[in-house]
Structures are given as structure tokens and as C-alpha cells.
Amino acid sequence: MAHEQMTKARSRLLLDNPFFGTLALRLKIIEDNTIPTGATDGVRLLFNRKWFEKQRTHEQVGFVAHEVMHIALLHILRRNGRDPYKWNIAADYVINLALKDEGFVLPETELIDEKYRDMSTDEVYNLLPKDLGEDQDNPFSVMVKGHSDPGGNGQVLDHPSMSNGQDVSGAVEAELHVAIQQAGEAARSCGKLSGNIEKLISDILEPKVDWRGVLARFLRGNNKSDFSWIKPNRRFIAQGLYLPSLHNPALDEIAFITDSSGSVLDEELAQFTGEATGILHDLNPAAIHFIQCDSQVNEYKVYTREDLPLKVTYKGRGGTAFTPAFEYIAKHCPQIVAAVYLTDLECYDFGTEPPYPVLWVTTNAEEAPYGEIIKLN
């Protein structure tokens, strides 16, 4: 009976909330009575039969939507060594508020708190008690055979790619980006994509900066192309913005540096990948010299538009220093005409101003001794 109920729950999601239903269809349904409630790792949807059968129909649908949200928010890839129990609690606080706004009925849980509204999972995690663990008294935790579900309505597990000895999370994330986009298009086509989910998709997939306008003044005097008002950029027409299109797509090479230090949140790293995609898609430079740097350069790659969608696995997560990236550029790619540095600006080592324009794209409204700062919302 449980498998039939699970099938009905997914079908109901597909009809009423096709964004969630489309993503749910990607998952392999597996009964696993060793877990307290249910769980997902992005490949499988596991459920405890007795627990699932006790839930009302709307709660069963809410449970599936809850697990799908773990995938949509990429929780399965972004734990990065943090305590899994505490990570699950933080993720549930974020998800349950979002599902509540969408009108879902969830299995009984106390992990709903308005004080966490509009916060990322990383931010909630950092606000939770440091010593929070499974051994503490948790009135809303469900226990089965020594395993607990802190929220009582489904767990998030690491994606299998995180434990197979090969770091392919970048490729998995790129694949999930495509799946999220397709799910959004499916919901939009039948008029069932809410504003909140539209924003969710945008936050995950879309760059936040109008690179065409920002970089034009830096690149215009150095490249072989110019901007023309002949063909407006269709990406912005819906917003009432008529921005110039490139008359000739040949732009010079630029450096794109991402701060991969420990102070940068996972959601911010995902935004950084989106911004790199935005530059390649909108400006089509001859090349992007993509540098990951914390207190040292951890990876260097050259990307062109042919490499879209980008598959980036971030490395480092140590301290922060900006000098190593600029020294690396001087030695290995001195031909660049501008540098974009995406960072939280939590650093005192800015080094000497390089001989090209620098754009600091940051989530914090801080100051820098040189260059221009753009706030990434």
C-alpha cells in the first residue's frame, strides 16, 4: 500500500505543483525501514513504510515536496564536512518556511521558525548551537534503530558522488541546474510556477549582475567590438530594460577570480558560478581565465562559451589573501584586460593595485583600496 501511496503523492505533485513533481520523477523510490522517516541523496527517495502510511494524504505529498527541496537547494552537495545532524536541522528550517508559503501540509515538525525567514542554510547553520547533536534531548526528533531524523519529516543525505572517491560534484551540480531549469519550464508552461519558486530558480541559475553594462566601460577601449542599440538584449526586455547588444562578439580575455576561502558561503559560491556563466553567455569574451584562490591559488582554468554550462568544483576553504591571484595573473596570463574578483572582502591583504581595472563583486558592502565595488544581492 505504501508504494501505491507514494505513486499517488508524486502524481498529485505533478498535477498541482509540476516544479516539485518533475524533480520528484527523477528519484528512484526505495523502501528502507532502517531510517526513521524518509531521506534523499538526489538519486533515491527513501521512505520508512510504517511512518509513511501513518501520514495523511496531504502530508505524504508535503513529505515528497520537502525531499525535492533538498535537491532544488543543492543541500545534497553542499554540506562540506559540516555536522550532518545540524546541517539537516538548518536545511529543514529553510525548506519548511518555503513549503509553508507554497501551501503545503507537512508531517508534524517543530522546525518552523519565522526568525530564520530569508536566511540561507549556511546562515541558519551558523546560528544554531555549536554543541547541537543527536545525543541532546530533541522533542521533535524521530528515532528508529539508533538513527534519528531531527525534523521528523525527512532527511537530507550527501549525494553518492561525494563519497565515491572522485570529486565530481561540479558535474552533478551542472546536471541538477539543467533539471531545475526543466522543472521550472514545465511548471511555467502550464501556469503553475509561483513567484517564490520563480525566484528560487533565478537565485540558483541566473547571474545577478548586468555584466554587459558593468564591463562595457572597462572593455570598450580594449577590444575589437563595440556595443550597438540595433538588437536589444532579450534577457532584459521583460524587465523593461533595453540594453545594448554586441555588434561583434569578439571580446578580449578577462580574469575571473573566485574567493574560495572558508568565510564564503556555499550559496555565494553557487552565485559566483552563475556570474561566470553570465559573463560567458552575455559578453562572449575570447576567454575567461578562471582562478580559485583562498590564501593561495588552488585552481586555474581557461573557459570559453563552448564550455557552457560550467562545471565548477570549488577547492580551498582556507584563509583569504588577494595578492596570490594577482601575482599568478602577472606570471601566467598577463594579456588580460580586466579582472573580476568575487569575494566577501573579508581580507586585509589587497596587495599592490594591478595595471588593469579590477571589479570587486561582493556580498558585503565593504570598501577596497582600489578598483570598483559591486554589491551582489
**Which band of pLDDT confidence, cut at 50, 70 and 90, is reported for residue 322?**
very high
pLDDT score at 334: 92
Segment 211-234 mean pLDDT: 46
Taking CA 23 as the corner, what is the angle to CA 17 and CA 26, rounded to the nearest 5 degrees? 140
Candidate from 201-205, 236-240, 300-304 with smallest mean pLDDT = 236-240
Residue 237: predicted pLDDT: 39
Round to whole Å and give the CA distance between 281 and 304: 9
To the question of pTM greater than 0.85 for the whole model, the response is no
pLDDT at position 236? 38
d(C-alpha 86, C-alpha 59), whole Å: 24
Domains along the chain with CATH numbers: 2-202 (no CATH), 206-375 (3.40.50)
pLDDT classification of 290: cutoffs 50, 70, 90: very high
Task: Return left, alpha or beta for 297; rule: phi > 0 is left, psi -120 to 50 is alpha, else beta.
Answer: beta
Binned at pLDDT 50, 70 and 90, residue 150 comes out as: low
- In tens, the pLDDT along 237-278 reads 343 433 334 334 446 789 999 998 888 877 777 777 877 887
pLDDT digits (tens, 9 = 90+) for 32-87: 999 889 999 989 999 999 999 999 999 999 999 999 999 998 888 878 778 888 88
Residue pair 49/31 in contact by the 8 Å Cβ criterion: yes
Give me the DSSP letters along 309-334: SP-------S---SHHHHHHHHHH-T
pLDDT greater than 80 at residue 366: no
Q: In terms of C-beta density within 10 A (0-12 exposed, 13-18 middle, 19 or more buried), how is residue 4 classed?
A: exposed
Residue scoring higher pLDDT (97 or 131): 97
Return the pLDDT at 332.
95
Q: Are 98 and 63 in contact (CB under 8 A)?
A: no
Q: What is the spatial distance between Cα 233 and Cα 246, in angstroms, rounded to a whole number? A: 9
pLDDT value, residue 232: 41
SS3 252: coil
2-6, 54-58, 82-86, 130-134 — most confident range: 54-58
- For residues 308 and 280, the answer to whether their CB atoms sit within 8 Å is yes
279: DSSP letter: H
Say if strands 44-47 and 288-293 run parallel, antiparallel, or are unpaired: unpaired
- Predicted local confidence at residue 301, as pLDDT: 94
Q: Specify the pLDDT at position 57.
A: 95
